[in-house]
Amino acid sequence: MATPDEKMTPLQHAAQNRCFGCGPANSGGLQLEFLLAEDGSVVSQANISDDFCGHPGYLHGGIIATLLDETMSKAVRASGISSMTRHMEVDYLLPVPSAKPLRMEGRVVRIEGRKRWTDARILDGEGKTLAHAKGLFVEVHPRAADRP
């Protein structure tokens, strides 16, 4: 699914991160790993197990939405901004298979103050888009109690 000419850098996660989507400390989560592409977009390649099925052999719609949300969030984070989802729309184009190679791609498409408009998609092993999302993320600042 990745082409040899793609030059990408891993996005690092804190070891104690318990995020359902990307947290290495969450054994029940998806534990997605993201790479930063040269153009500023992010990519994650994953094989999501049957444990996250809706219909047998296909991922649950909530998991599909989570994959897209996580991808858009990482696209914002790649620029050093912490944000939270304000709004997202999902187009479920085709069933997304479980236990098969998938590729998630996300990018920031517009910035206005603390707002980041984003775009993400899930592709199958042949490069066909299975689901697409658009989102609005808002920059958040750490609470004073959480600052070093």
The residue type of 90 is: V
Q: Which of 5, 51, 69, 124 is catalytic?
A: 69
Contact 63, 90 (CB under 8 A): no
Integer CA distances (angstroms), 29 to 5, 26, 52, 69, 75, in order: 30, 5, 10, 14, 20
Q: Which residues contact 4 (CB under 8 A, 6 or more apart)?
A: none
Contact 29, 70 (CB under 8 A): no
Three-state DSSP class for 77?
Answer: helix
DSSP state of 16: T
Instruction: Please say if 69 is a catalytic residue.
Output: yes
Quote the CA–CA distance of 76 and 132 in Å, as a whole number: 17
Instruction: List the catalytic residues.
Output: 69
